[in-house]
Every structure is written in structure tokens, then in C-alpha cells.
Structure 1
Amino acid sequence: MEGKLIAPCGMNCGICVSYLAMKNDLNKKGFRKTYCAGCLPRGKNCTFMKKNCEKLGKGLVRFCYECSDFPCRRLKDLDKRYRTKYHMSMIENLIFIKEHGIERFLEREEERWNCPECGGVICCHNGLCLNCGLETLLQNKQYHWGEEPKD
């Protein structure tokens, strides 16, 4: 995991389906996924927050926790959706980074999202390793966490 893949909102772009699709070149394997290199590498600061946050839009903060409004309503709404649907919290990520630093956060993320089968990266959006879990995804292209495989 790389520090440049941690967006200001606390999203780890390295576990995002669009980043992992690009990294594993899934379109060559029969998928139609939008590829994304990550918020910061694309020069977008933060895909989720920048349109609603002047500080992020102008690049005045590296992480949302540096803002006096942290956590703002928009970040709270985003965090709730990600905790509910994707088993991760951007606000918890940001608090951890603030308290322990980016290097320790990256180590924790590496451990948390490491595939025990092949050592690849588990995607936060569907709970699958996009290296060894492709068969499940091929069977059900809209697969979500914990679904039973379709026959």
C-alpha cells in the first residue's frame, strides 16, 4: 500500500474496486470496469469531498482531520454509507492516521485487506480478492459482501 493512495477523506484508494480493476487489468479478463489510479495520483484531491469543501478543492489540507469542521456532515454521511455497505470507516481511518501516522496506517491496511489465499488485495466494495476471487465476480458482476454465489 502506498501513502499517495490515501485520499484526504480517509479512503484507501488501493482497496477500491476501480483501482484494483486497473491494477489487475480486469477489462482484459472480461469485465467492463472504469479504471481509476486513485484520487491524489489523478490530481483530484478527493473524488468524494472536493466539490463540497473549499479547503480540499484548493488543496489547503492533506487530510480532512486537519479541518476545524472535522468531521463535517458530508464526511459523516459518506462514512455511514461505507461502514454500512463496505465494512470500513473513513473517519476511523483519519483518526488513526492523526494519532499514529500514515506509515502505521499503511501497515494496518496491508494486514487488514491482505488476501489469505494468494496475498493479493481484498476489495472493500465487494469483499473479494480481485486476483483469486475473479470466478465469483465473473459469475455475479454485481457481487456484494457475503452473497451466496449464483448458480
Structure 2
Amino acid sequence: MKGFTREETRFSLCGLNCALCSMRLGGYCPGCGGGAGNQSCTIAKCSLEHKNIPFCWECSEYPCPRYESFDDGDSFVPHRNRQQDIALAREIGLEAYLAQLEKKQAILEKLLAHYNDGRRKALFNTAVYLLPLEDLQSVIAVLDGRPELEGQPIKERALTAVGLLQEAADRRGISLKLNKEPKKG
């Protein structure tokens, strides 16, 4: 959207974790308000109308009707944690939240570099997006503690990583599948 820019591009205006987005990591989007990319956002337009607030939660109208049903379906990233991520950022402070995002981003990059058999990018991205940092750190510690994996074919390494992430998700009752948007009508 023309004229929409933000200083902080790792955490979106509406609470999506741009730092973990496959579009941003792939260089296709600079993050919310970071320049050219996916800028046709109604929430960005709303921000401009409300004196360029940096985050929706800073608006006196938050949460507004724009948030109704927004989390019901996912795009290429999960939307389910958006409001709880906003709550966590508000609780611990933006800098501490962004530090956690940086740690999650490093974990995602490690999974993609060492355990992706070409078919796991979306699953790894979703798992890192949805699972708490401590669960992800535990999964990485288990993977790092198994040096025999290094000699395994990539497919075996990928299956091991997926299994550990799925176990962590199951313990929390988290689905690692993206939710399709409900049909309108």
C-alpha cells in the first residue's frame, strides 16, 4: 500500500510473526510495512487512517471488527496464535518478544538447512510458528544429541525432525496443519 511503512518489520501490525514467514525468509516480502511486497492489507489502510499506529493493540478501538473471524483460516502462515502473540508481546515487552522471535527464526533456519528433504518447509514453518520456544529448543537439543543422524540420508533426518515436532505438538494439542479458510455463503 502506497505510503505505508513501519520501522519494525519482524512482527506485523496485526500480530503475525513476519520474522518466521516463509515469504520473508525467501526474500519475497520485506515484512509488514517494510517496502515492496504484500502491501494490499486492509489493516495497513486502517493504520494509516489512525495516524500510523505501529501495532493494532495501540489503537483505542482494538480489538475491532477487523479481527472477527480473521483467525478462522490460515494463509501460508498460521493465524491461530495472533491474538495470544499480541498478548505475550504486550506482557513481556516488544523487545523481549522480538528476541524470542529471533531464537525461533534461528531454529527454523537450522531445520530448513539440515532436516528439509524438499517437502518439509511448510511443516517446519508451521511448527516453529505455533510451538512455544521451549518446546522447539527441546526438539533441537534431541536432534543435536543424536550425532548418528548426520550420516543418515536427508529423508531419514527429515522424518526424525518431523516426528519430534509432531510429538511436541501432540503434547500441547496443537495441529500442525494449516486451517483452510471456511467457505463463505
> TM-score category by the smaller chain?
0.5 to 0.7
CA contact (8 A) 2:56 2:62 kept: yes
String of CA shifts for 1:33-66, please: whole Å, max 9, x gaps.
xx11112211788836224x2xx13453111111
The equivalences for 1:84-95 within 5 A come to 86=78, 88-95=80-87
CA contact (8 A) 1:5 1:41 kept: no
In structure 2, give the amino acid aligned to 1:42: G
Q: CA deviation at 1:10?
A: 1.2
String of CA shifts for 1:2-35, please: whole Å, max 9, x gaps.
943211111121111111111xxxxxxxxxxxx1
Question: Does the C-alpha gap of structure 1 residues 61 and 87 become closer, same or farther in structure 2, counting only changes over 3 Å?
Answer: closer
CA contact (8 A) 1:5 1:38 kept: yes
CA contact (8 A) 2:20 2:101 kept: no
CA contact (8 A) 1:80 1:89 kept: no
Identify the match of residue 103 of structure 1 among 95, 100, 106. Answer: 95
Q: Do structure 1's residue 8 and structure 2's residue 13 form an aligned pair?
A: yes
Question: Does the C-alpha gap of structure 1 residues 11 and 106 become closer, same or farther in structure 2, counting only changes over 3 Å?
Answer: same
Residue segments in structure 1 that go unaligned for 5+ positions in a row = 23-34, 122-128
Q: Do structure 1's residue 120 and structure 2's residue 109 form an aligned pair?
A: yes
CA contact (8 A) 1:9 1:46 kept: no
Q: Do structure 1's residue 60 and structure 2's residue 52 form an aligned pair?
A: yes
Tell me which structure has the larger Cα radius of gyration: 2
Question: Does the C-alpha gap of structure 1 residues 96 and 41 become closer, same or farther in structure 2, counting only changes over 3 Å?
Answer: same
Structure 2 distance, partners of 1:135, 1:112, is 20
CA contact (8 A) 1:8 1:62 kept: yes
Q: Do structure 1's residue 131 and structure 2's residue 124 form an aligned pair?
A: no
In structure 1, give the amino acid aligned to 2:82: M
Report SS of the residue matched to 1:79.
coil
RMSD: 3.4
Residue segments in structure 2 that go unaligned for 5+ positions in a row = 1-6, 127-175, 178-185
After the TM superposition, list the runs of 4 or more consecutive aligned residues in structure 1 that deviate by more than 6 angstroms. 43-46
Question: Does the C-alpha gap of structure 1 residues 48 and 90 become closer, same or farther in structure 2, counting only changes over 3 Å?
Answer: farther
Identity %: 26
- Determine the structure 2 residue equivalent to 1:36: 29
Return the TM-score normalized by structure 1: 0.57
Return the TM-score normalized by structure 2: 0.49
Q: CA deviation at 1:130?
A: 3.9
